[in-house]
Chains A and B, each alone.
Chain A
């Protein structure tokens, strides 16, 4: 999967968790928390969505890797590569 595809799939999961966010305003390198008041409940739902979409179970200790869109993409790219 090329990086833009991966980010788009992540973005669509993010928007399921935060349907009230305008994706046009999202900055890929800035933490969700700083942009959209993302809290631990949002992070949990985000991790759950990623698990459903990619089959990757993100352990609690890795939640910080889901801080921003760019960071989530990098984390998932590695996780998916290791799996295949």
Chain B
């Protein structure tokens, strides 16, 4: 079965991307998850993975070309197409995408794009007017991503596609400068504050047990194996999300869709004021040393500009930490379509009462922003307590 590899959507706001480099050539065997291309987006250069396995038959786009989301970049033959990582999430994603303007498309739209790409045999929905217009302009409607009901291609989609094709420079010309990431963050956060009825809770707890455990652990391993507090925080949140699935998933189409997997996004600042929240996949089932090494690898790659497409779109819940910035607590905004975000303030030496005696202890204030369409403060309180308790027994993380 043939498979079309298309330009994926890698952000809430992405309409097109510039193919920088092919990592494959005709005749190559591609496995699912292999990095096949490097694509320049407003988040920097992203390593794009394949959702299908097969043999590369033909590369259709030359490096340096700016192409709209959904356009076919390469064709694989003998492709063994796998369902997207989370098929139960992919279909609603497509539906949600259809309802919204392209500027507000889901961050998880890549899943939808992947699902679309995985089903090339499916009949395309297109409005009659759009079909006529496409014929006039000499556009193959199969190349166009639909934004209408049920993913149908509309007249507007055809116009947008035509404009994007006209705007793309001929191959080998230098890529157009990426838009400002600030605008991307602005759109996502504006949508968050407009659509999500947030509630906020905070809880202060001792970090003494965790810190002591980390010190002992680190004394026994080489530098390579040393843990940072953020690894424990991330794992504690992953376990809480596993235990309380109502905090782990997406809100789409007027309903909450829990995710079977827990992919914890970690807000990582890049020098120069940029911020991304790529995911540690299946964080709840990984041991603490694996979580730490993946976190280190992820941070290093993000700062060097090497993120992978799956990491960028998979998060089911997000963690943000300003542990080193001296702030007491964070009141975070949920990253749509997720429904919860957990913030960690600084770990600060403060008075703490244990068995009636005041003593100094490292304390951390944990906050959760929850989505009132899905959960209430009471569930949020249990969620925070779960994280606190997990941090009091670090050896079990």
Q: Which residues of A contact B219 (CB under 8 A)?
A: 60
Measured between C-beta atoms, what is the minimum distance from B278 to chain A in Å? Answer: 14
In the bound complex, CA of A48 to CA of B304 (Å):
17
Measured between C-beta atoms, what is the minimum distance from B214 to chain A in Å? Answer: 9
Contact with A along B289-324 (1 / 0, CB 8 A): 000000110011001110000000000000000011
A residues engaging B (CB < 8 A)? 17-21, 36-37, 39-41, 44-45, 47-48, 51, 57-58, 60
| Total chain B interface residues with beta-carbon distance under 8 A | 23
Pick from A19, A21, A37, A41: contact of B299, CB below 8 A.
A41
Q: Which residues of B contact A60 (CB under 8 A)?
A: 215, 218-219, 226
> In the complex, are the beta carbons of A48 and B223 less than 8 A apart?
yes
Measured between C-beta atoms, what is the minimum distance from A43 to chain B in Å? Answer: 9
Known A40-B228, A60-B215; judge A47-B271 contact (CB<8 A). Answer: no
Q: Which secondary structure dominates chain B's binding surface? A: helix
Pick from B218, B223, B271, B305: contact of A51, CB below 8 A.
B223
Q: Which residues of B contact A51 (CB under 8 A)?
A: 222-223
Pick from B223, B304, B324: contact of A39, CB below 8 A.
B324
Known A51-B223, A57-B223, A58-B223; judge A41-B228 contact (CB<8 A). Answer: yes
Pick from A18, A48, A57: contact of B271, CB below 8 A.
A18
In the bound complex, CA of A4 to CA of B269 (Å):
32
Measured between C-beta atoms, what is the minimum distance from A67 to chain B in Å? Answer: 13
> In the complex, are the beta carbons of B324 and A40 less than 8 A apart?
yes
B residues engaging A (CB < 8 A)? 215, 218-219, 222-224, 226, 228-230, 269-272, 295-296, 299-300, 303-305, 323-324
Residue in B222, B223, B295 with the greatest tally of chain A CB atoms within 10 Å? B223
In the bound complex, CA of A37 to CA of B272 (Å):
9
Measured between C-beta atoms, what is the minimum distance from B394 to chain A in Å? Answer: 16
In the bound complex, CA of A45 to CA of B219 (Å):
17
Q: Which residues of B contact A19 (CB under 8 A)?
A: 303-304
Known A20-B271, A21-B271, A60-B215; judge A44-B223 contact (CB<8 A). Answer: yes
Closest A residue to B325 by beta carbon equals: A39
> In the complex, are the beta carbons of B303 and A20 less than 8 A apart?
yes
> In the complex, are the beta carbons of B296 and A41 less than 8 A apart?
yes
Closest B residue to A40 by beta carbon equals: B228
> In the complex, are the beta carbons of B304 and A57 less than 8 A apart?
no
In the bound complex, CA of A19 to CA of B295 (Å):
18
Between A and B, 23 residue pairs with Cβ closer than 8 Å are A17-B300, A18-B303, A19-B304, A20-B272, A20-B303, A37-B269, A39-B269, A39-B324, A40-B228, A41-B230, A41-B299, A44-B223, A44-B228, A45-B296, A45-B300, A47-B223, A51-B222, A57-B222, A57-B223, A60-B215, A60-B218, A60-B219, A60-B226
